[in-house]
Amino acid sequence: MSLRLTLIAHGATAATRDARFPRDEPLEAAANTKAAALARHIGRVDVAWMSPALCSMQTAEALGLMASIQPLLADIDHGAWAGKSLAEVEAADPTGLAQWTDDPAAAPHGGEAIEHLLQRIGVWLEQAANESGRIVAVTHPAVIRAAAVVALDAPPKSFWRIDIEPLSLSRLDSHAGRWTVRILNAEVSRSQL
């Protein structure tokens, strides 16, 4: 079976702009408008999925996708850090922040460790590999980073070396259950799905 999986990062939210660990929040007005403008660049879609987060649902709607909620596409759980800025966390818990970025198994915020996110996305990719055709999933930058790490069979610490922008696309192809990273962090308007 051959599968083309396009992962679209949700549009910007207030947390994105303020460098805060996100909560479940809506898109900024400008992001909703930008997502709607990108809809014409989405080609054939056989199946569409989205994270259960409001920003992903609004992005999928603006893109004109009839997407189903896929719980495994949820953002990483930031625990006690949700809603706080990176600067606030660094000031209040510099040891915890350093531990979280240095040790993929650490979860000093009481949320989800990077290793757990990678395992969760690995399960989802295994399930997705049983599909064929063109699938689009609207989700979070952390989920897309995790999908790239899993697809490349890269070390968990490489998660921190991937940057995913709002409303960018990444594409993974699967043939016979083997993943290939085709596009990472591209502007949707300049890429073909």
- pLDDT number for residue 38: 83
pTM (2 decimals)?
0.94
Q: Which residue has the higher pLDDT, 99 or 191?
A: 99
pLDDT score at 177: 81
- pLDDT tens digit string along 26-42? 999 899 888 888 888 88
What is the structure's pLDDT at 41? Answer: 80
Task: Return d(Cα 140, Cα 11) in angstroms, integer.
Answer: 9
Summary mean pLDDT of the chain: 93
Q: Give the per-residue pLDDT at 32.
A: 86
- Whether residue 112 is predicted with pLDDT greater than 60 in this model: the reply is yes
Contacts of 54 (CB under 8 A, 6+ apart): 24, 25, 26
C-alpha 168/C-alpha 164 separation (Å) is: 7
Helices (H), 103-177: 114-128, 141-152
168: nearest Cα among 138, 148, 146: 138
Statement: residue 189 has pLDDT above 60: no
Whether 193 shows a pLDDT value over 80: the answer reads no
The average pLDDT across 115-131 equals 96
Q: What is the structure's pLDDT at 191? A: 46
Q: Residue 190 pLDDT more than 80?
A: no
At residue 176, the pLDDT reads: 84
Query: Please, what are the domains in the chain?
Result: 2-190 (3.40.50.1240)
Helix axes 114-128, 141-152, angle to 10 degrees: 70
Q: What is the pLDDT of residue 39?
A: 83
Average pLDDT over residues 103-115: 97
In 3D space, the residue among 170, 164, 61, 157 whose CA is nearest the CA of residue 125 turns out to be: 170
List, in order, residues 6 or more apart from 7 with CB less than 8 Å away: 136, 137, 139, 143, 144, 147, 169, 170, 171, 172
| Span 150-176, pLDDT tens digits | 999 999 999 999 999 999 999 999 998
pLDDT given at position 107: 96
